[in-house]
Structure 1
């Protein structure tokens, strides 16, 4: 019954009485019922909707229908395109009064820029198509504009980018031209109307989703400002844009899956390649981990940290959009029998040094001390030049001032990389990351996984095997066989020594990352690592130096 009433309402809409056509737009505080113009994207990209006109859809000034025949038959899905191409250096901004802001992707600047500052930010960004100033907030829109509703007066000011040659034409001339095209065209067929009605019915719920997305986005920006004393530009992308970029999250675009959820490759409408991390309902993580990742890396800038391009919160979807890393993750190389050969020793040593510098930045050089808590091979991404980028900050924790450690009752992380004090009692610190780095360093050198790799003769894991060989002076036997033609034996032996220092049992015995970076880049003497008593496994005769085994009892553990 509701669908039938909606259909009748929209069928009668173009033929409203003159009294209805002359009604003014209600003020922002007036209660009103949904109308044709309230349905998202009903007039397509760069279209304007006016319920007092018949038909209600027409193009913004400076735009014409992309498909005139479609517009004449009331099919607005292709929307409008510009009459004149833009020129970033000479473009102007034309002010309009709007009943509501455009929907779609926008950037929210929480800087107190003022009108001129906001205009300057949009002017200097050639992809910025419109801006508005509300209080102290400056909003920038890129790409096509959707759901624009112009009013003669009393609305919010929206400044739309125009070619300089179009500036004098603004004010409704284009409207009259398009109305002429539409009036002279054939009335839409009944089947065409049914198609539009079906779209409107589907889009009705989507409007509420977009409003919720903006509300949540604003909340996250406010929380970011609680952490950062500066202001940030954080893009929020419309879900429809991400769906299009990833082919509706097609399996062919799936790059992999981690603790957060699946990751998909995509290409935005501006040509940028992206990696989209999608929160999985079965991942055990939720909005807190999502916010955590956004909050912590929104302003982190380092060549060895992956860069966050934007995010999307719409209905149940929570998406993080990153720069695309064409070589994917490190584990796809070092643990693959064929691809491991592509990483010779110079490349692996460069990856080791890059990870150490990125971790040093998190621990000491960023304004807040950040503990990653899930450093592992699958969270190291590789760019075109095989340079490493640390990713996945969903479990990270940050501290201010001199604070460098904490405690939690909820143990989260990856077995094989977790420091013993964290796995047993929930204590974590920067030294927990150092432990994980030591295990990761050993895996890069050997091409083997620490967890699940055992040596039956010794009944120990990879780290225990490394300790035994080092004590016997045979540590170079650990090095991946495919590196023997490219390796630097002194560098390799030094790296093994460093990994044993980093993965010592007690946090106070492990070096900090500044010392690790110095050890990797110089020939300074290294201290001797202490006997590890935490190694899982042991000979039945108890003679192995790695024979001790701790019985661990953890009330709540969430492996990834």
Structure 2
């Protein structure tokens, strides 16, 4: 019985001394060894030995207690142990040391306090501290001689505070990623503060910039898109100018929540918090989120917008440095300036600034002492090396003299960036505008050609008397629900929407009839097109427009929302275009045509179109896809010259714009045909090419004109050598005729059953 009792006392002593006791600190006489652990006072965090998933190695670390395992600090991250036989001890001189099973020091705090009166303790913040007691008075706080918060691994915890040197060009690391989820050794991604110009958060990948937050303005990092939900939550940066240091602290507003910032092995940084309802760590914020967040995705003088395709484009006044690479989606080579800056040139030719809104400002910031925006502007303008500036109230003046790199367009947030450009580049980008209009027009013409094919395929019959047409429309289209869209509206609904077709709501009038702005009961703005009795158009035209537009969906074309057929009233409902349509910028140009089901490159009894845009064969009643090419050629020449085809007079010795272009082409004076606003030396060759393509499109014989696909290839320079154009029609004045007769003499010899002009 005595032996059993003695054995019980021995086991109780052993358990309490080595295994089962709760240790709250480490002293020179009381080390920590597996499976013992330190637990913070409130039980939130724990320090002990752990082995990562799928790893045979052991480490000494700190993690959240009683939660999903989340290690926040590792002592021996680059020197693992092969088993759990390690010991964490405090040496007699106050140095915290980790020894392996062979009693070798594999990690140390590298501190010497020269005193035995020291302890190591895990605080509720997750900070492991070595304290030195220099007084027997319990009210005197011990001095902290070492703390883990000053040596973070891959996690930033609330309460951490670092002081770094604010030296220009210095990279100050805060914490570094693990190499992999099963290997806590130092990975390739380092998060820290870059202090060139103004402090910014950076992630470096093997020493190369990978992501940055934009500069700190005293409250937030202004290079983040949604500033109210960003990585700045809880961050505080204090610039101590007197001693050249920065204090960096992380202190979330709500201290009751368990927050942390973690850098993973793939270069992502996450702000996470513990959610008790889901019993898991949830992500509050992460970066980088898109390709545009990656540092310098679009290269020098390129700007990135992840909501556009492609995401990269050159800033205004710049063009791709390597056009071939850009077309393949490799933008790293960036862009180069088109027109040199004109620093010091006389008035009227001076450089100016283009305002770019909602921008992430470039890297390589140079901070000026100017605290007034006008002063910032003048200082940059008077400095020939200044490429742009930005003014932020809490920062002052930021300027750039090096390549603008890592520029991003935001949908919200960011700041204004003032880009310095030569005077000629400050105008509305003529080359880009020309290209955009040409591209849109080519698309429209191509789609119209597709509609012709659609009509042929559908086999729509347009013969017969008007009464039969109406009956056929009501029976076939409405009765058999051929057109399930667009929906039908009553006359009263549209009358109410337009305030009884009030004159003040009238938007304009065309060959079809007047167009009114209206508001439906749903508060949706609409445009109502009301067929006019004097238009010379009837049910056939109405049917044509309903069928064509309702079946045709394209981002560059207005959408048909519905129609009204009630008595003699025939109306079409379109989406309202507050900024007008493309036709408003092409002299209000418009055409509409009627084709029968059996009319494929055949004769049509009715020709509907706009004078000056109809090809000669179409005016004679013949049509083909080359008729659209002709119309496009006229528009192209109008765009380049900035003049309408019908604005020529006897003094110019030309009946039309085509004749004027043809005359100058043969005389070698085609440069004078260009609109002066786009006639710049650096893209004259492109404009001359466009003129030549336009003349090829308006050749008199349809078989001589290129197809629309060939036209596109010509404009994109895929066709290197262009053929010489032949003489277009309608080029010469009839000297014996008066102006009115001359403008119509080009079609006097044609036999046309019906000619309707819109």
TM-score tier, shorter chain, comes to: 0.3 to 0.5
Structure with higher helix content = 1
TM score, norm. by length of structure 1 = 0.45
Larger radius of gyration: 2
- Decide which structure has greater strand share: 2
